[in-house]
Amino acid sequence: MGSRSRARQVAAALGFVGLLLAALGAVMIVMVPSIIKQQVLKNVRIDPSSLSFNMWKEIPVPFYLSVYFFDVINPNEILQGQKPQVRERGPYVYREFRHKSNITFNDNDTVSFLEYRSYQFQPHKSRGLESDYIVIPNILVLSASVMMEDRPMSLKLIMTFAFSALGERAFVNRTVGEIMWGYEDPLIHLINKYFPNMFPFKGKFGLFAELNNSDSGLFTVFTGVKDFSRIHLVDKWNGLSKVNFWHSDQCNMINGTSGQMWAPFMTPESSLEFYSPEACRSMKLIYKEQGVFEGIPTFRFVAPNTLFANGSVYPPNEGFCPCMESGIQNVSTCRFNAPLFLSHPHFYNADPVLAEAVSGLHPNTEEHSLFLDIHPVTGIPMNCSVKLQLSLYIKSVKGIGQTGKIEPVVLPLLWFAERGNGGGDPSDILHSAGVDAQGAALCPVRAPCSGLRPAVHPHRLPDPEPRSQGCREPAQPGPSVRPASQPLHPTSSGLSQRTAHQSPNLSPPTSRCHMRVTHCTPPSTCSHVCTCMQTHSGMELLLRGPGESLDNKECSGTFSWSDPHACPQVLWARDPLLWVSEPGRLTTLTASPQLPPSVLNHCSPCLGVLPGRTGPLLQGASHSPETQPGSRLLMPQPAE
């Protein structure tokens, strides 16, 4: 009887536990989606206290601009009226550096900012050098000729004489670097003298000269703090609510975001709208399919067939330009009236007559379509490839001898692909938004000291602490690392060694603080992260010296720490970014007197920047009044 009674008691207990678990499961089913939503809403808005703010401020993943030129094979025959023949050259790859500045939060739930861009050639990723010569149309001569077509014959004859006196021809043989970033041309000075305001160029002429070391205009976007329904939407661009380039109100509208982040919780019915200053218009991408990028679920958005369709094919585009064949957009109204056209590469998705008019073009979906892969829960882009082509309309103009017998044709100049992806471990990007790869809410992170951890490239370090599946304190580093007598690699004279020593009476780690160190203002004059590794003696960071080639396999210097318990732990390194984690201890650091003044250190509010006379020093709770680089500073435990 006793055993039966105990069996009944056990059965009753198990039944009670089962009911309790079922009730708990029901509660979780109801509560978890709400928790996830609140966590995402909190962390994707544009707010210095949100976890994704640093990612929004300075995009942590590398962007690369790959440029392909159309080398004209038969320039003399084109002048005789024959069909153009081109050969694709490239890619010529550039690393694109972006950062936002002049960030101003406004009273109407918006933030204004400028985003600066600079480019650095990557020879190891390119198929060719910037010194390669390319034959392309003389954009200045042929553009001016088309623009002068309706002018009096006397002016056209004067222009012909001027072209001849300056030795100008319809086609030029220039290097890639000159075409990209500019070359001196006396024609620019002549045109500015006799035809002011025809071209905006005052010195060198280059297709990308206006983009390098410049900003894309003043964007004002909604933060989503007060009204989440408008998060990331553009309020104004350069103070304008609409532009004035086109012939209809609809085409002049500024719609969507600035093209970097979108509203979360997407569905297959969602679309991606953004304003592109380069295209001078708003664009809209449509949902295509679900996918997975390195283990992350994504929605792929692509350009519709109507993106560059003309008004006869797609009436809403009538305001852009009803002229020419469908599939190309005339951007002359926002590009100094030069007959320039924007399209997909090789005239993909355009009227076939355009590609048939030029030998050497082979449009196909895989190589020439653009797409964005978005994490639907957060609205964060995980992988993108934006591909566009720039073409020039050329023709024979009566009265201007340099144009010969050129048959009217839209001749491609180049196409480019702008690519960026999370690389390494994209889930780190989602962790900054407070969700895991599948969209589940993570443990609350102690903001605002937490920052985004970019993925590793080319080498990834092991996590200083195991990633927890539950809400637990970070694992503390083990005591197995032996002190080091000297670095693994010798330190060069260009970069001195910096060592952190353990301070007495240290409190245990209780929080995390990520410090971001940027070594590129400009990239050619300061240090670059080569790689970093965990050695038997602790953490070691290898740097390239100022001015060294990015493809140099030798590293000119090292920073090392002998005790990983007491010094900042290197989390991830990606040229030219370094992220380290302050483990919550009082730590002394010695700043290197060799670091260039352009090195910036960001970590607000627990770390800051104290400018030195020749270089910055880390700011701590207390420091010597002496601001000379090399002073020893005490870094406090980060605030909870």
Choose between 187 and 435: higher pLDDT: 187
pLDDT at 309: 92
Cα 562 to Cα 557: distance, rounded to the nearest angstrom: 16
Q: Give the mean pLDDT of 14-24.
A: 61
Residue 178 has pLDDT above 90, yes or no: yes
Phi-psi group of 239: left, alpha or beta (phi > 0 → left; psi -120 to 50 → alpha; rest → beta)? left
pLDDT value at residue 334: 82
Least-confidence region, from 178-182, 384-388, 591-595: 591-595
| pLDDT of the residue at 284 | 94
The CA-based angle 326-332-333, given to 5 degrees, is 110
Percent of the chain with pLDDT over 70: 58
Percent of the chain surpassing pLDDT 90: 35
What mean pLDDT do residues 278-282 have? 90
Confidence of residue 158 (pLDDT cuts 50, 70, 90): confident
Contact yes or no for 80/404 (Cβ under 8 A): yes
CA distance 187 to 167: 10
pLDDT digits (tens, 9 = 90+) for 584-638: 332 333 333 333 333 333 322 222 222 322 233 233 323 333 333 333 323 333 3
CA 49 – CA 373 distance, rounded (Å): 26
pLDDT at residue 422, rounded to an integer: 54
Residue 454 pLDDT greater than 90, yes or no: no
Q: What is the pLDDT of residue 307?
A: 93
* pTM, to two decimals: 0.65
pLDDT value at position 248? 92
Residue with tokens 């400028």: 114
Out of 25-29, 35-39, 72-76, 499-503, pick the least confident.
Answer: 499-503
Considering 320-329, 540-549, 601-610, the range whose residues carry the highest mean pLDDT is 320-329
Interacting residues of 120 by C-beta distance below 8 A, sequence separation 6+: 94, 95, 97, 523, 524, 550
Does the structure show a pLDDT above 60 at 577?
Answer: no
Tokens representing residue 506 in the block? 């240290």
Average pLDDT across the chain, whole number: 69
Higher pLDDT, 232 or 85: 85
Rounded distance between C-alpha atoms, residue 628 and residue 577, angstroms: 25
Least confident of 311-325, 519-533, 626-640: 626-640
Average pLDDT over residues 441-468: 27
Residue 43, pLDDT score: 73
Rounded to whole angstroms, the Cα distance separating 612 from 631 reads 10
Least confident of 93-107, 419-433, 612-626: 612-626
Q: Say whether 513 sits in a helix, a strand or coil.
A: strand
Q: pLDDT value at position 373? A: 93
The answer to whether residue 186 scores a pLDDT higher than 70 is yes
Name which of 75-84, 422-431, 449-458 the model is least confident about: 449-458
Q: How far apart are the first and last CA of the chain?
A: 59
Does the structure show a pLDDT above 90 at 288? yes
**pLDDT greater than 50 at residue 415:** yes
- Max mean pLDDT among 320-324, 385-389, 429-433, 558-562 falls in 385-389
pLDDT of residue 573: 34
Q: What is the pLDDT of residue 322?
A: 65
pLDDT of residue 211: 83
CA angle (533 as vertex; 528, 534 as ends), nearest 5: 145
**pLDDT for position 34:** 59
pLDDT at position 462 over 70: no
Q: Which of 29-38, 502-511, 513-522 has the highest mean pLDDT?
A: 29-38
What's the confidence (pLDDT) of residue 24? 56
Top pLDDT among 560 and 614 is at 560
**Distances, alpha carbon 220 to alpha carbons 109, 372, 393, in Å:** 10, 23, 35
Judge whether 86 and 134 are in contact, CB under 8 Å.
Answer: no
Provide the pLDDT confidence category of residue 347 given band limits of 50, 70 and 90. very high
- The whole-number pLDDT of residue 214 equals 86
The more confidently predicted of residues 465 and 221 is 221
> Are the beta carbons of 594 and 585 closer than 8 angstroms?
no
pLDDT at 488: 29
